[in-house]
Amino acid sequence: MSTKTIQNLQIDQDRLWDSLMEMAKIGATDKGGCARLALTDLDKQGRDLFVQWCKDAGCSITVDRMGNIFARRPGRNNDLPPVVTGSHLDTQPTGGKFDGVFGVLAGLEVIRTLNDYKFETEAPIEVSVWTNEEGSRFAPAMIASGVFGGVFTEEYGHSRADLDGKTIGEELKRIGYFGDAPVGGRPFKAFFEAHIEQGPILEAEQKTIGVVQGIQGIKWFEVTLTGQDCHAGTTPMNRRKDAMLAAARMVDLVNRIALDHLPGVGTVGLMTVHPNSRNVIPGKVFFTVDLRHPYDEELEKMKAALEAGAAEICGGLGVECDLQEIWNSPAIHYDPACIDAVRRAADEAGLPNRDIVSGAGHDAGYIARVAPVGMIFVPCAEGISHNEIESALPEDLAAGCNVLMRAMVELAA
């Protein structure tokens, strides 16, 4: 078939939706969500169902030593590296029906549609399932795409244990997904991940497609402020070294820094106060700061503003400040050609779209270390995710799947 007929390809919205609802029965919760934690019996059932569907669609299956699954639809030239899409089937304990699962089943729907149209691609097409994306049962998150991307070793991946001491390696063997294939070293022509946005922007702006540019950089800080515990009644205001007052001003500082560096975000989410007594001026406060920005240079400026602001606030109050950067995850920028393919696919399908940066981590972020990557976001209701009420419209999911198909077919042509 010529590439002209790409325009005629349409995925089957009802089949995609029915598959999502069928998968959601495995680990279904009372409140309409899903609890399918990584490498549990339920995860095995979900994997088995996916593998069966892929075999029914004529795919061959490869499982690697981290339990990542690759379902392959052959191309005309099977010496070419495949164009791959995928996401994850595991969920949070009170997770939804779409986070991750949409990206996996959208890939399957692309293959089913190409089969319907007897549409051949030059390069093979693959759908991948990445093990333990959520990081709920086994930390850290995205462990298996991380091993694939060379961020973690296989030994490290296998040795991660849950709270009962069961390791990923043991649990992969137990459920029959400790595969033979090496992890990584599997060239991809391109990798796409379709995902619900997990944020409110697309819905608020009535855009159907988010053309994802990358994942924002993250810095975590730990701050300890030391003043002096003192009697709340007898210590005059001008004699205090109030660590809590300094902390309060720094919470406001973090907020102002984010507003000065939009679309950056800043959060103080954890605080402990010592001695935490109603009639004692707090002598010690510990808190965390989470700063994020799509560009590392801007994130560095936010850090500098935090350090300068902290020195000024604490100096004025006679409070000592210990501020440590404990984690830095640099911004990830996706491949320009993959980004363009997604935008073109959305434009050609007449779908309202906008460029967007992911606020959350995704498997695609680690895959971007070893392959050209693009991502497609679709709206979810009120931006809510990691929650049983997570919800998305069948037509938006279908639109995202059509964009995925067009982008993949263009690159596999």
What does the per-residue mask of binding to Zn ion show for 47-86, with x meaning CB under 5 A? ----------------------------------------
Stretch that binds Zn ion, among 95-103, 302-310, 323-331, 364-372 (CB under 5 A): 95-103
Residue 226 Cβ vs Zn ion, minimum distance, rounded to whole Å: 40
Q: Is 90 in the site for Zn ion (CB under 5 A)?
A: no
Which two tokens mark 300? Answer: 């560095």
- How many CA atoms within 13 Å lie on the side-chain side of 29? 18
Residue 139 or 311 having the CB closest to Zn ion: 139
Among 43, 64, 90, 99, binds Zn ion (CB under 5 A): 99
Helix (H, G, I), strand (E, B) or coil at 115: helix
Sequence letter at residue 89: L
Which two tokens mark 286? Answer: 């510990």
Residue 283 or 374 having the CB closest to Zn ion: 374
Residue ranges of alpha helices (H) inside 87-194 are 101-116, 143-148, 154-159, 168-174
Residue 271 or 360 having the CB closest to Zn ion: 360
Residue 99 or 203 having the CB closest to Zn ion: 99
* Element housing 222 (H / E): strand 217-226
Stretch that binds Zn ion, among 25-33, 94-102, 345-353, 365-373 (CB under 5 A): 94-102
Neighbours of 153 (CB within 10 A): 12
Residue bearing tokens 């409070």: 319
Q: Is 100 in the site for Zn ion (CB under 5 A)?
A: yes
Residue 195 Cβ vs Zn ion, minimum distance, rounded to whole Å: 6
Query: By C-alpha distance, which of 137, 43, 48 is closest to 92?
Result: 137
Stretch that binds Zn ion, among 96-104, 228-236, 297-305, 375-383 (CB under 5 A): 96-104
Residue 134 Cβ vs Zn ion, minimum distance, rounded to whole Å: 7
Residue 282 or 374 having the CB closest to Zn ion: 374
Residue 377 Cβ vs Zn ion, minimum distance, rounded to whole Å: 11
What number of chain residues touch Zn ion (CB under 5 A)? Answer: 2
- Round to whole Å and give the CA distance between 370 and 361: 17
Largest CA distance in the chain: 86
Q: Please, which residues bridge with residue 129 across strands?
A: 69, 87
The binding site for Zn ion (CB under 5 A) comprises 99-100
